[in-house]
Amino acid sequence: MAGSVLSRRDLDFLLFEWLGAEALTARERFAEHDRETFDAVLGLAEELAVRHFAPHNRRNDVEEPRFDGERVVLHPEVGAALEAFVASGLMSAAMDHDLGGQQLPTLVANACTAWFQAANVGTAAYPFLTVANANLLAVYGTSEQRERLVRPLAAGRFFGTMCLSEPQAGSSLADVRTTAVPQPDGGYRLFGTKMWISGGDHELSENIVHLVLARTPGAPAGVKGLSLFAVPKYRVGPDGSLGERNDVVLAGLNHKMGYRGTVNTVLNFGEGRFRPGEAPGAVGELVGELHRGLACMFHMMNEARTGVGLGAAALGYTGYLHALDYARSRPQGRLLTGRDPSAPQVPIIEHPDVRRQLLAQKTYVEGALALSLYCSRLIDDQRTAPEPAERAAAGRLLEVLTPVAKSWPAQWCLAANDLAIQVHGGYGYTRDHPVEQFYRDNRLNAIHEGTHGIQALDLLGRKVVLDGGAGLAALLGAFAATTARAERVGGEAARFAAALDAAAGRIRHTTGALWSAGDPDVALPNASVYLEAVGHVVLAWIWLEQYLALGAADTPFHHGKRQAARYFFRVELPRTGPQFDLLDALDRTAADTPSEWF
């Protein structure tokens, strides 16, 4: 089964032949690790994912979580898989030693995460959210909160959520209405409703720590009035013991087309069903500074955004591997040059159009996984690089890449899943094969943690113009460093470099043209087209990086990588030309269409 979940060979190439994971062990934080420990933890992740997560992926989809009136019911395999995950220590793999963590590089920890997302994204969502929740509290929480909340989160005794959206607000956090009323003891009582809360209620852990955006009475309007609060399902005493039930109530379950194994909830805070301290209101404690809640929450949101991109890549990747296996084993038809109807049928991988579909999938999923792990390496560099300038440069590049790393895999690995269904033909559209589930699961990744449109506004409206265009300069500088290396190699690498340099020039010109008037109404109507075009150029850069890392190696794996790079430069990168033309024209066809014309 492992061969249809993810490719260990590709992970080894990305981690050790390209991204230099072993070199990280020279840094103090990772000094106790070496290649042997990295290999061991990757092997452990693969074993757990294949043995405990993949077998119930189908059941996770068919038998959705249900509410029996008292509690959320999930089938037992979910709990058993998570118990095995927690027992392995992977929950705290990248966390500090003083929290019980192993201080693995984020690069290696995220490579492990990809195994679980590919094997069973519904079950993997619970630890995914918990780790991000704990990481936020470790940065912004008090020392007392680290002991009472982060330590049990890291140990897997508590699970965590993020509570942003509300029924009337959706992604517009400026319209959040949940209120946090100060109490004489210095705490807060929260009142309001939160929507689309993944992992919001279950019996998988001793407790659930909700991180909730709310506004205090008299707070400024909009996002500047939001504060962040930790609201546990069961109150946690000073000594870490569990106390009374908090006033957080499950109002209902949402039923999505994918990610069906992840319980998705509507939560009421302060409904009064439970009365902690003999009073209504969910008891919460402030995290970070008052009215700085969104800034704190961005720590979890940005981690979740790169994690969503990684999950999209993983789902696309497993779909590709299933399609590849099917294409090799499914006989159908004969080659165009062999029309004898009495001749044996050939495996469908022998048909050129099927190979085209497989090669497109390969370029999308391997490119997306590479981008996700590259961003993971940037996180390590931002936190642990020896020189402050190196840390700052990594952080700047990571910031501008984040909307691409979230949205490009969500769009193009979904396209890979679509092609995986097509390779299966009619069988792919049935539930007899898992590729239709991978498609439904992956469809969510274009929506949660910020839609394509939101990521596009972030990229064009903020990231590339921030600090006088420092983000754009960082991105174009990264491209230029790679193309300079490729030019020294010469040959095909130099030809790819020329194409990437030309595309980078278009990004520079188009960004300037869009912002020449300094007017967001002029610059932003086609921001999603900008995100898609820039994203494709970013992936061309990632493929050139991989191409250079291949060196002169002469194996089928390395030849396959080279062919995928050729496909991306010859077939995919040229897509961006018409997109940049549209952007340069400042076209407003959609923006100028009155609502009544629809």
Q: Which residues are catalytic?
A: 449
Cα separation, 568 vs 369, in Å, equals 15
- What is the C-alpha end-to-end distance of the chain, expressed in Å? 49
Which residues does residue 179 pair with via DSSP β-bridges, in sequence order?
191, 215
The H-or-E segment that residue 44 falls in is helix 35-48
Q: Which DSSP string do the residues of 154-187 spell out, in sequence order?
A: HTTSEEEEEE---TTTTT-GGG---EEEE-TTS-
Tell how far CA 451 is from the center of its chain. Answer: 12
Q: What long-range pairs does 19-24 form, CB within 8 A, spacing at least 24?
A: 19/107, 19/373, 19/374, 19/377, 20/377, 21/105, 21/107, 21/108, 21/377, 24/105, 24/107, 24/380, 24/384
* Structure tokens given for 107: 């690069």
C-alpha neighbours within 13 Å on the C-beta side of residue 315? 37
Phi/psi zone of residue 282: left (φ > 0), alpha (ψ -120 to 50 degrees), beta?
beta
CB within 8 Å of 481: residues ≥ 6 apart: none
CA dihedral 537, 539, 542, 546 (to 10 degrees): -120
List C-alpha distances in Å: 98 to 166, 205, 260, 303, 380: 36, 22, 35, 21, 18
Cα separation, 63 vs 66, in Å, equals 9
* Among candidate residues 383, 405, 409, the one with its CA nearest the CA of residue 394: 383
Pairing assessment for the beta strands 188-198 and 282-287 based on DSSP bridges: antiparallel
